[in-house]
A and B are shown apart, each in its own frame.
Chain A
Amino acid sequence: MIARKTTLVPLAALGLTAALALSACGGSDGGTPVSDAGGAEAASANASGKLAGAGASSAESAESAWTQGFTATNPEASVTYDSVGSGAGREQFLNSGVQFAGTDAALTEDEIKQSSEACQGGKAFDVPVYISPIAVVFNLKGVDDLQLSPETIAGIFAGDITTWNDPAIAEDNPDVKLPSTKITPVHRSDSSGTTENFTQYLEKTAPKAWKHGEVEDWPVKGGQSGDGTSGLVSVVEGGDGTIGYADASKAGNLGIAKIKVGDEYVEYSPEAASKAVEDSPRVKGREKGDVVIELDRTLDDPSTYPLVLVSYMALCDTYEDKETADLVKSYASYVVSSQGQKAAGEVAGNAPLSDKLSQDATASIEKIKAKG
């Protein structure tokens, strides 16, 4: 029932103008064919079947790159991803509603225990698939470059630093002429993995200035907020003197502050974000094959950018039948492969997995098997 090439004939009958449908038959859509048609070399044997995933909306752009890229090389297969949020995605996954979940936080021990039913007696595990630097974005007339230390960021978001010409900010920015504009910190109004990673960063790097801990829901009462990353970005864009935190790829035209790592102020970059994840240890006490990273926010190597978010793909080690197991295996391998990471990076702006992580993830995925 799913066709890629469709015409509007039934629609015209439904009341949309037939003229539009007719005009669709001619004309160019502005695309040009790629000269080298070999771009679609299949990474794996052609898989087939239906696969459904659900979860974090932070990785939606990347997931769409993966599902589309995968179906391009495996036309027989159909992979869908509903961005319903990490929590809802994990719940659907544990109830066997979907075969994989995208989540901003790895499955908890409890959830892994619960997973044996969904996983045909096996266990669920996580592999990292999406690394996104979180940018501290701001909109301040007359200021394009801004450098901030973690203490200053924490002070701003805790409400202790209230004007842009505060001595703490001036100290970070000796060369910038700062206006006396009031600072309007903007947070996420929905609970989100971005908030969790951001507050964890503040807690670890500036424990004195940030006393609210690591939370999914913004802990400071009142203030401006936006729903979702795009909502937050539009609030920051809509005010003067606003500052917020968002996935770097969605920052648009907003200014992005350099954050202090070690003794230097570091601009976010995919490479620095990848390196921060690579340099961080794994979470201890996890099953072998459950690749979960304990992000080290206090790295002091200026080639790293420790304010990052890692999204995982939650998978089962056992699936009902061979077809599903093979499909999951080939899709997940594609996602963590350098090819899949490159495809996502180009369109979603995320940072690639390091070779080591990619290999470990692939090794875990290779162990997926069918029941019995």
Chain B
Amino acid sequence: MSAAPARAASSGLLTGSGASERRLPWYHLLVTALASIALAAVVLVLLDSFSIGALVVLGYVLHLVVGYSYARAREGRRWAADRLVTLLVLGAFAVAMIPLVSLLWEVVARGLDKLLNPYPGYFFTHDMAGVVGGMASGGISHAIVGTLLVTLGASIISVPIGLLTSIFLVEYATSGPLRVLGRGITFLVDVMTGIPSIVAGLFGLALFITLTGDPGIRIGLMGSVALSVLMIPTVVRSSEEMLRLVPMELREAAFGLGVPKWLTIVKVVLRTSIAGLTTGVTLAVARVIGETAPLLLTVGALPLMNSHLFDGRMQTLPTFINSQYRSGNAVCNSETVTNPITQMQYACSTTINYDRAWAAALTLILIVMILNIAARLVSRFFAPKLGR
């Protein structure tokens, strides 16, 4: 993160304190912004529809016009366009923050309580054995284990296949018959991105029933296979994009030193693009870890812990969220409900299913967050130390 000239100039541009003689100091932007907000407030009061949201939106839109015109008059067309784009880009970012913040807020506000009560960790360390109706107990240890295992299985299948395919497309499919094959595979990967998730589930189901001859088969591995159908194209597309960005000179340099091609790919190409590849794989994992429909069809449902990917039904977080949401309001005919297995009595809550669904959603987001951080650490650790 050294202060390359471009960077220095960029931060100067953002804050408006650039040294260019024609540039105006940053507070001019603030003045135009305040003027726009004031104008927006006046307009809204006149129209009798004043609200903070409308003020921000209208103020922003007006500032696009006001700020641009002002800069155009004072700084000239080119810098005015620059100002406008800066504003637009900031606006885009702000717009994206609205759903993100509101969504995270909703999930945290509705889900956190269950993660902390009756004591922190209870929800992560118990399963749903004997939990019926509005019983205010139960947890998701089984679903966490199931999700991690099924997703891990899907990644073990998809990442090597996806990565090797993208290597093939970028490094090998450059001439002759391989190039034709490469075009064919690109085409197929494109088609594969269009497989609806539920079809992937149906496919996983049909595949395993055909292979085993047992129409009742429901195992975690089936879920992994169904998910990898969805995951492979994502891995291929994003890795392909990243591999293509590796400068040709790096390869040339390695070849020039007599390094074999495969070693060049492993040591130079992959290492150079490791951050991008990790982002791609993380995104692919994030893409499938929340998939519900394929798992519903392939892994079944189970209220208990099953940590065996190759045998027996499994519960996963998305299917758990789905089934809890679908259970809807619970019935409370009495104050307490008895767990038939442990013979313990628990309070009854009509909203318990929704509470568990939100808490499980929060857990799923936390898991992906942790995976994300881990992936970034990995990529930082393995990435070559370059100049910047």
Interface residues of A (CB under 8 A from B): 1-4, 6-8, 10-11, 14-16, 19-24, 26-34, 37, 39-40, 52, 57, 60-61, 64-65, 67-69, 71-73, 80-84, 92, 95-98, 228-230, 233, 249-252, 343, 345-349
Contacts and interface: CB of A to CB of B under 8 A. Distances in A.
A80 B345 contact: no
Contact of A11 (B124, B130, B302, B330): B124
Nearest to B144: A11
B327 interface: yes
Contacts, number: 195
Given A30-B346, A34-B338, A61-B133, A92 B329 contact: no
A173 B328 CA distance: 30
A6 B143 CA distance: 12
Interface in B191-231: 209, 215-216, 218
Nearest to B301: A82
Contact of A27 (B122, B133, B148, B296): B122
A186 to B, nearest CB: 14
A82 B299 CA distance: 9
A184 to B, nearest CB: 20
Interface string B50-75: 00000000000000000000000000
Contacts of B312: 1-2
Counting chain A CB atoms within 10 Å of each CB, the highest count among B119, B328, B337 belongs to B328
B13 interface: no
A34 B343 contact: yes
B121 interface: yes
Contacts of B129: 4, 68
A27 B125 CA distance: 12
B141 A97 contact: no
27 contacts: A2-B302, A2-B305, A6-B307, A8-B141, A19-B121, A20-B121, A20-B125, A24-B124, A30-B118, A30-B346, A31-B344, A32-B345, A33-B343, A33-B344, A34-B338, A60-B327, A61-B331, A68-B341, A72-B341, A80-B302, A81-B301, A82-B301, A84-B296, A96-B215, A343-B340, A347-B133, A348-B133
B134 interface: yes
A230 B296 contact: no
B326 A252 contact: no
A37 B259 CA distance: 74
Nearest to B333: A346
B178 interface: no
Nearest to B138: A29
B347 interface: yes
B345 A11 contact: no
Interface string B290-327: 00000011001111111110011100000000010111
Contacts of B119: 23-24, 26-29
Contacts of B355: none
A31 to B, nearest CB: 4
Nearest to A54: B300
Nearest to B338: A34
A346 B334 contact: yes
A8 B124 contact: yes
B81 to A, nearest CB: 44
Nearest to A14: B148
Nearest to A233: B328
Contacts of B331: 61, 249, 346-349
A230 B126 CA distance: 26
Nearest to A29: B118
B121 A1 contact: no
A347 B347 contact: no
B333 A252 contact: no
Contact of A64 (B141, B142, B303): B303
Given A24-B125, A27-B118, A229 B343 contact: no
B288 interface: no
A28 B374 CA distance: 33
Given A52-B313, A346-B133, 5 more contacts: A28-B118, A52-B216, A69-B132, A69-B340, A71-B341
Counting chain B CB atoms within 10 Å of each CB, the highest count among A14, A29, A60, A348 belongs to A29
Given A61-B330, A72-B340, A80 B313 contact: yes
B362 interface: no
B131 interface: yes
A341 to B, nearest CB: 14
A3 to B, nearest CB: 5
A28 B347 CA distance: 13
B308 A1 contact: yes
B121 A4 contact: no
Given A39-B338, A60-B323, A346-B334, A2 B215 contact: no
Contacts of B209: 97
B327 A230 contact: yes
A61 B327 contact: yes
B135 interface: yes
Contact of B326 (A28, A31, A230): A230
Contact of B328 (A8, A81, A97, A229): A229
Given A31-B344, A84-B296, A2 B133 contact: no
A34 B346 CA distance: 10
B136 interface: yes
A74 B269 CA distance: 59
Contacts of B325: 230
Contacts of A7: 125
A153 to B, nearest CB: 22
Nearest to A232: B328
Nearest to A37: B343
Contacts of B338: 34, 39
B136 A21 contact: no
A1 B307 contact: yes
A64 B304 contact: no
B137 A29 contact: yes
A346 B127 contact: no
Given A33-B345, A348-B331, A64 B118 contact: no
B100 interface: no
Nearest to B135: A347
Contacts of A8: 121, 124-125, 141
A95 B124 contact: no
A252 B345 contact: no
Contacts of B337: 346-347
